[in-house]
Structure 1
Amino acid sequence: MQGSEAEPASLPRKSLKRGLVVWLVGVLSALLLVDAWYSYRDALAAANQAYDRSLSASLKGIAERIYATESEVVVDIPYSALELFEAGSSDRVFYGVTYQGGEQITGYEGLPLPPTLQPNVAVFYDGVYNGQALRLGAMLKPLYRTEFPRPVIVILGETTNSRQEVVQSLFFGEVGRKAVLVVVALAVALLATRRAFKPIERLGGAIRSRLDDDLTPIEASEVPREVAPLVYAINQHMGRINKMVEARRRFIADAAHQLRTPLAVLNTQAEYALRQHDEAAMRPAVEAFHKSLGSAIRLTNQLLSLSRAEPVNGLALAPQPVDMAALAGDMVVELLPLAARKHIDLGVEGMAAGCGAATVSGQAVLLRELIANLIDNAIRYTPEGGLVTVGVACEDSGEGAATVVLTVTDNGPGIPASERERVFLRFFRLDAGDHQGSGLGLSIVREIVHGHAGEIALDDAPDGRGLRVVVRLPAA
């Protein structure tokens, strides 16, 4: 069936697109505000430049008609000096002529003075007079008479109504054009964003419409380059999930296949034992049942160990430092009773030879299972009175990298060189007489070794008789 689960109501749909749109609107709005401030400043500067020319002409016209006689200062304000401000203007004009120092000669009293003045140079500035904002111009006029040593200051100001009208006209015209451009740019950006997100939306739809067991890689040829790494990461994750699912399926298939026969045998033996009324006749059936039950338990445990040993199952825990010498010694002590039943000499030698500590980074439970399987196999296939030796050593693999080497050597029948690769396959059994193994021991060992980035090899025993298993693991 197809993946038809409804999306959670709390899942924000198209949140990335919405966030990008909000970001674009915010950036463009901020840019428009900044540009509006600069546009207003430029419009005000342009209006002042144009109107200050008229103000300068009138100011110079007044200054030229000021002269001094022997007894007085004559101020003859020409009509043309004020005529420039009267034609269709809504502004008022204020003028004043004072001595430098503050004594009024004519005109409006109390007009704002400029901060600095130079002779015959017009200075323009803003000021307030009787509550009205003014644009003023001032000029210092020397009289060149000994009777009047002080120069006079000519001040001419006008209200800013006309200037503000011009400023607003320039400002709104400029901002209006740029606002239109911003809206067009935003529309283009929204369209481009929508087109850019289309492949992602199609990708999401394709994933939602997949079958529940479809873990094939996602096609990344039509997605944007920026999204490709995400698709590759998803494909890698789906690949890991697919391996885990395959491991689960393999475990279920193996368990169903391998446990069906032992369980059927157990059921038959139990039925046979129940049909016996004599205790003496029932005992052989119960003993056979007990033996079969032990084999079934061992097979089940090994299946579980194999499943846990496979790294793709996702059951691995965080690696910890493990002392292989100590672990091997513990396992030898634990399995001594099993060796004693067959009068096998089980011992250890060469513990951590050549290094301070035979420590690896891994999982103690799995490494314990590895050593237990190797020793158990060696004991099972070594004849009575035989010899099984476990060794742990260190060797330098070059460039400062150390390797911990675990060896398990027996003097049993060994494994032919032609079969040494096949014995690692699941459920593969050699023709070993009465030995009834599950065929999983070495498979478990290989999975554990590979999960710890190690190597395993089978070789002849040093004296040519028996088998030697060599496991190399990176030292911590």
Structure 2
Amino acid sequence: MAEPRALATRVLVAVLAILLLGGVLVAGSTWWNGRKAAQQAYDRILLGAATHIAESIRIQDGKPLVNLPVSAFELLAQAPDDRVYYAVHGPDGAFVTGLDTQARIAPGSNRRDGFFDAALNGEAARFVKVDRRFAERDFSGTIEVIVGQTTRARTAMTRNLVLDALVPMAVAGATLLLIAWVVVRRALRPLEAVTEDLARRDPYDLTAIPTERLPREFQVMLGAMNRFMARLEGQVDAMRTLISDTAHQLRTPVAAIRIQAESAATEPDADVRSHALDRLLVRTRSLGTLLDQLLSRALVVHRSDSAPRVPVDLRDVALDILERDDHAVLAPGMRLKLEIGDQPVLVRADAFSLGEAARNLLGNALKHGRSPVFIGAERRGQDAILWVRDSGSGPDPSVTARLGERFNRTAGSGETNAGIGLSIVKAVATAFGGTVALSRDAQGFQIALVLPAAEDLS
């Protein structure tokens, strides 16, 4: 497979093609104009010579007499390399004088304004015909004068005019090509600098490439690249966070499970062994919850950057949470109620991520709040709100002050609480341009996911 050409080479080839095309057009125009100028110049010479000869004709004894003027041949001598022809014929076509070197040359169908083209001894030539009328006592009629010459001087003049125009143009074209090469190299220098910067970078360095003092086209390209690297850095950070959190959080419960399993296996007392197995079951469930939330948070962070944003009705999210009936397993004694209106509450987001946020909001209320618990969705102005409210007073202010931090737990949270739920809610809110709002009133404690509302597309 052929190696792709460099950008500078492509630009220079395009410039060269433009110059060549322009050169061809200018050369054609120059040739046409030069040929026309040569034709007009030598046609005037022919017409002047023929006119002088016609004016020198006199009638003597009833016959035309031609005294060839020197001026006519001086005009024709301006094309020394051309062969010359002239002939004078009377009214009846009789030959009066001239260079009778071949059969009579007469105008054909290509005659125009007295000029016509014909062959002179097998060579291309140009002729002109001038008539002079006589009406005298002993002579009456028209005398015809034809003067011609070959076209060597015309061709040479056309060639010289074209060369005189093309040689400077070729030099100018070469100069322009050189200037274009210099300009292209200078224009591509920022791209080379960016390439060198990327080549020197550490593989984990995803910081933005500076775009100051760069051409606007490069700023657009580098802006897109910087946005891509920012997204990639977010994904890498999420992966690092998942690995770090998993390693940090699994160490203690795994060690505790191993110790309790060993104790239960070696304990001879049945009651003590039963109690150890119960503790082992609690630890195992806690570990499962922790793993579920760690994976859920990683998946939410990943989808927030990669999943397409589509219109989602927050009422459907709340209704889906209620219909799953997970609350009956998580908190059998808690009552759950749904409050949604008739109007759509639309946002542009990822339905899966919103569902994860809603489940964590509800789970947090079921574990730490008081019955009954309400879940609902509504629109307030430009905000679309998905909220969960319980009838309690809410967590301690020291906990709410650290809202959204991973592993935000209190001393009374218990082993089954991983402390990641609200961090998932905050990650979803941040990903879709929203916030997490807390409020307390006489009805209880409410936590809400507030997102920018989308217009109804139906």
Pair 1:184–1:345, CA change in 2 (3 A): closer
Distance in 1 between the 2:37 and 2:425 partners?
Answer: 88
Residue 458 (structure 1) shift: 1.0
Cα displacement (A) at 1:475: 4.0
Q: Does 1:273 align with 2:264?
A: yes
Moved more, 435-444 or 77-86: 77-86
Q: What is the aligned partner in structure 2 of residue 248 from structure 1?
A: 239
1:12 equivalent among 4, 7, 12: 4
Partner-residue secondary structure (3-state), 1:268? helix
Aligned residue identity for 2:262: E
Aligned residues: 447
Report how far residue 308 of structure 1 moved: 2.0
Supply the distance in 1 between the matched residues of 2:66 and 2:331 (Cα, whole angstroms).
137
1:328 corresponds in structure 2 to 318
**Which residue of the partner structure matches residue 375 of structure 2?**
390
Q: RMSD of the alignment, in Å?
A: 3.1
Counterpart in the other structure of 1:426: 406
Task: Please point out which of 107, 110, 135 is paired with 1:112.
Answer: 107
Deviations 1:59-116 (A, max 9, x none): 122111224467444444445534654688332212234568x945445513335645
Out of 192, 196, 208, the residue aligned to residue 205 of structure 1 is 196
SS of corresponding position for 2:326: helix
Alignment partner, residue 440 of structure 1: 420
Q: 1:441 Cα deviation (Å)? A: 0.9
Candidates 321, 325, 346, aligned match of 2:336: 346
TM normalised by structure 1 equals 0.83
**Partner of 1:406 in structure 2?**
386
Q: Secondary structure of 1:143's partner? A: strand
Q: Equivalent residue for 1:185?
A: 176
Q: Specify which of 150, 157, 170 is matched with residue 161 of structure 2.
A: 170
- Separation in 1, partners of 2:118, 2:74: 22
Equivalent of residue 308 in structure 2, options 312, 318, 323: 318
C-alpha distance in 1, partners of 2:406/2:61? Answer: 131
In the aligned structure 2, how far is the partner of 1:340 from the partner of 1:202?
A: 61
Secondary structure of the residue aligned to 2:392 is: coil
What is the CA–CA distance in structure 2 between the aligned matches of 1:115 and 1:87, rounded to whole Å? 24
Stretches of structure 1 that go unaligned for 5 or more consecutive residues are: 1-8, 118-122
- Secondary structure, aligned partner of 1:228: helix
SS of 2:374's partner is: strand
Cα distance between partner residues in 2 of 1:269 and 1:430: 24
Cα distance between partner residues in 2 of 1:294 and 1:38:
90
Residue 18 of structure 1, CA deviation: 0.8
Contact persistence 2:322–2:338 (CA under 8 A): yes
CA contact (8 A) 1:112 1:128 kept: no
8 Å contact kept, 1:339–1:346: no
Structure 2 CA distance for partners of 1:135 and 1:391, relative to 1, 3 Å: same
Q: Paired residue for 1:471?
A: 449
Letter in 1 for 2:338: V
- 1:214 to 2:200 alignment: no
Aligned partners of 2:331 and 2:234: how far apart in 1?
Answer: 42
Q: Which amino acid aligns with 1:64?
A: E
Asked whether the equivalents of residues 414 and 467 of structure 1 are also in contact (C-alpha less than 8 Å), the reply is yes
User: How many Å separate the matches in 1 of 2:26 and 2:79?
Assistant: 32
Cα distance between partner residues in 2 of 1:435 and 1:387: 24
Which of 366, 389, 400 pairs up with 2:353? 366
Distance 1:22 1:390 in 2: 67
C-alpha distance in structure 2 between counterparts of 1:252 and 1:185, whole Å: 59
SS in 1 for 2:149: strand
Query: For residue 312 of structure 2, what is the amino acid of its counterpart?
Result: V
- The residue aligned with 2:26 is 35
Aligned sequence identity (%):
29
Q: 1:168 to 1:209 in 2, by over 3 A?
A: same
SS at match of 1:213: coil
